[in-house]
Amino acid sequence: MLWCGKVRTMFSVNTIDPSAQEQSIARGQILQQRGVDTRRVSYIESGRVALGVMEAGVMEHQIGVLEGPCWLDASSVVLGLPHLVDAVADSPVQLRAVATRDFRKAIANLSESAQAVLNDVAMAHRRQTEFAVSRLAKDAEARCAEWLLSHAQACDEGLMSVELHQRKRSIAAQLGIAPETFSRVLRHLREQSLISGSGRVLNLVDPSGLRSLAGV
């Protein structure tokens, strides 16, 4: 969530808490858990943070990535609501944390019109996040099958195939899953004889089976 001009200046870490110390976070460390209302708000000075839904300690479904400098889920703090997604350091991260009470005190010092705008932006951001999380209700295999069908092209002998023009990490991000999950799903689809091939070209061996799996 980004702010410009006067609002952004008032919400810098130095303005809210000049004494906030920078912390070094290792890749893979959990920074935020969904359903939890924490007492501190993190400002990512540098590094990359993956957002999504964790299962058994692993980021199973990824819906986005944050690159510092930026606040981490300030919208939930503005609205006084628990986090909707988990956040994990996707690279070494440098951050500074301020107390939630100090963050909210800074909001209270804004004019009523600025507070109203800030609340509207936070609510819009939360609704977008809720929509992204709701997409995860459709399991990874179904989403992958639907993606393969939508990108399939006819090739020799009437077969359908998909050429992967993007890196698997990019495709996985579009599907809202982790790269490891995407690779695992493709392996399962091969084992079920729904697709074949490896590398950059995948053959759709059983399009009707994929349509059934995708629910289309």
pLDDT category, 28, cuts 50, 70, 90?
very high
Task: Return d(Cα 119, Cα 78) in angstroms, integer.
Answer: 7
Fold exhibited by the domain 138-214: Arc Repressor Mutant, subunit A (1.10.10)
Q: Which residues pair with 48 in a beta bridge?
A: 67
- Express each pLDDT in 3-21 by its tens digit: 444 445 457 788 888 888 9
Span 38-62, average pLDDT: 89
Kindly state the greatest CA–CA separation across the chain.
69
CATH of domain 5-136: 2.60.120.10
Report DSSP letters for 104-115, one per residue. Answer: HHHHHTS-HHHH
β-pair partners for 94: 24, 46
Parse the chain into domains and list their residue ranges: 5-136, 138-214
pTM of the complete model: 0.63
